[in-house]
Amino acid sequence: MAEKNASKVSARAPSKPTAACTILTTPQRKGRTTMEMQVLWHTAMRKAVVLGTAGAMALGGMVAMAGTAEAATTLGAAATQQGRYFGTAVANNRLSETDYVNTLNTEFNSVTPENEMKWDALEPSRGSFNFANADKIVNHAKARNMQVRGHTLVWHSQLPGWVGSLSADELRKAMTTHITEVMTHWKGQIAAWDVVNEAYQDGSSGARRSSPFQDKLGAGYIEEAFKIARSVDPAAKLCYNDYNTDGVNAKSTAVYNMVKDFKSRGVPIDCVGFQGHFNSNSPVTADFQQNLERFAALGVDIQLTELDIEGSGSEQAANYEKVVKGCLAVSRCTGITVWGVTDKYSWRSSGTPLLFDGSYQKKPAYTAVLNVLNGGTTTPPTTPPTTPPTTPPTTPPTTPPPGGSGSCTATFKTDSSWSGGYNGTVTVKAGSSAITRWTVPLTMASGTSITSLWNATHTTSGSTVTVKNSNWNGSLAAGASTTFSFTVNGGNTAPTVGTCSTS
Ligand code: XIL
């Protein structure tokens, strides 16, 4: 498997920072699981806390600061406050190790069996199913109210030899039986299934990967699999899952086009899994978030399903931060799973890609992820100074005029575009005086509309979209700038940016 990410991904500029403290829209979805309902409840509570605190601060005449909600101390709890889950891959044969289990139970609220639900593990010979090892993981999770991701039903790898030697007719029957038996066994217990895994080639072709399924059943095997899956367990979210699809590139665009086609034809698909195996050959790219946005705009949920980022120290921490911020900035990004509890048992152990080291100590990457999930708070509330200031200020602070006395400018750039849409960013810059709020009108090109916008608030009236600062990025010092970004569907023509105002 080591060669899988070896294909070159062209070097891109480092990611620009994204805001950590956007108040997120909770995904509105039908058929929620208990875990999802808990997550939604916690989100509502967190919003109430944030709003309550902001109100109290306003009354006291203080400046509202980010990160005033109570910081959670575990990944799972912090993600829950953001309306997400935080999971890990779990290996059944490690469940007897105390440190492993303690870390798993303390930090995570979702699990994915790392190998135990793959075809070779579940149906090593035709018609003979062995659910025992995966059952142990599912039961461990259920007993602790963790959710379970099912991984994976149809994949070219870890596929027993007998499958590849079947005729087309027999293979179709075998695929139908496998999906049916496996999903029936855990019916109602799996939050999301990776129905099909890694069906596309790496590189620039955007073509399907050769596999017994592709080669014998034809391109339609993916939708056949999704339709069977839906009929067996309608409560499970059905995902397509792949790697090297984390930025905008030929492979991710091929997957994007497939999902778009499925949505337009009513083929059942609920989510896209982005594995997120990052290393120097497959770095975290600047368009990570934009790529998630374009998928979300198709009407599917996003999950980061196998996240691991090789490296160490602050560089690794910064990459994790970018990825988690990217997910949090996309309201349909519903959860993150890291591909293992500890570096010791990672499939890429030498790259130390996980959040806990081989001794189960929290790495800088852990702290970075927890801080991002806690809304960007890097330190707990500080203790008040022990000595009060001796000299009272001689002049009372003046109230700045509404919006500050300054002016602002707004400039647009396209971040990425694809057939029928694009992602763009507007940079808002204060003039020679500080400002405290800003408004930017956009006129959308004919036929185009914004499907999501982040780092600002917006209202739409016909083709005019009025964008105003969020509560945390309205104040800009003289010459300082901030950005907001958005996804547009319906064409590639850029919007006209009107005059930035501070009133
Ligand atoms: C890996 C497991 O982590 C290893 O233990 C196993 O030997 C090979 O598979 N993409 C996937 C995962 O979808 O199932 C793979 O897991 C990693 C790449």
Tens of pLDDT, residues 295-345: 999 999 999 999 999 999 999 999 999 999 999 999 999 999 999 999 999
Tens of pLDDT, residues 184-203: 999 999 999 999 999 999 99
> In this model, does residue 113 exceed pLDDT 70?
yes
> In this model, does residue 26 exceed pLDDT 90?
no
For 398, the token pair is 């003046």
Mean pLDDT for 264-291 is 97
Site to substitute for ligand 1 among 90, 111, 347, 354, most atoms within 8 A of C-beta: 347
Q: Among 206-215, 226-235, 270-279, 443-452, whose mean pLDDT is lowest?
A: 443-452
Whether 293 is a known active-site residue: answer no
Cα(316) to centroid of ligand 1, in Å?
A: 21
Residue 403 has what pLDDT? 59
User: How many whole angstroms separate alpha carbon 334 and alpha carbon 27?
Assistant: 8
Separation of CA 398 from chain center: 43
Whether 198 is a known active-site residue: answer yes
Residue 9 has what pLDDT? 33
Tens of pLDDT, residues 347-367: 999 999 999 999 999 999 999
Within 6 Å (CB) of ligand 1, which residues are found? 1, 114-115, 197, 243, 275, 306, 347
Tens of pLDDT, residues 418-427: 667 787 889 9
The secondary structure of residue 244, as a DSSP letter, is S
Backbone phi and psi for residue 362, each to the nearest 5 degrees, phi listed first: -70, 130
User: How many whole angstroms separate alpha carbon 85 and alpha carbon 29?
Assistant: 15
> In this model, does residue 57 exceed pLDDT 80?
no
pTM value? Answer: 0.68
For 325, the token pair is 């911020």
Of all protein residues, the one whose alpha carbon is nearest to atom 7 of ligand 1 is: 347
For 436, the token pair is 């405290």
Spot the catalytic one: 198, 223, 310, 321. 198
Cα(114) to centroid of ligand 1, in Å?
A: 7
> Helix, strand, coil % (nearest 5) of the chain?
30, 25, 45
Tens of pLDDT, residues 198-216: 999 999 999 999 999 999 9
Residue 3 has what pLDDT? 38
For 248, the token pair is 């905008």
Tens of pLDDT, residues 232-242: 999 999 999 99
For residue 427, what is the enclosing H or E element?
A: strand 421-430
Cα(146) to centroid of ligand 1, in Å?
A: 21
User: How many whole angstroms separate alpha carbon 422 and alpha carbon 489?
Assistant: 7
Phi-psi region of 248 (alpha: psi -120 to 50; beta: other; left: phi over 0): beta
User: How many whole angstroms separate alpha carbon 300 and alpha carbon 418?
Assistant: 17
The secondary structure of residue 219, as a DSSP letter, is T
DSSP-derived pairing of the beta strands 333-338 and 301-309: parallel
Q: Which amino acid is at 359?
A: S
Mean pLDDT for 97-108 is 98
> In this model, does residue 51 exceed pLDDT 50?
no
Mean of the per-residue pLDDT values for the chain?
84
Share above pLDDT 90 across residues of the chain, in percent, rounded to a whole number: 69
User: How many whole angstroms separate alpha carbon 472 and alpha carbon 40?
Assistant: 23
**Three-class DSSP labels, 315-382:** HHHHHHHHHHHHHHCCCCEEEEEECCCEHHHCCCHHHCCCCECCCCCECHHHHHHHHHHCCCCCCCCC
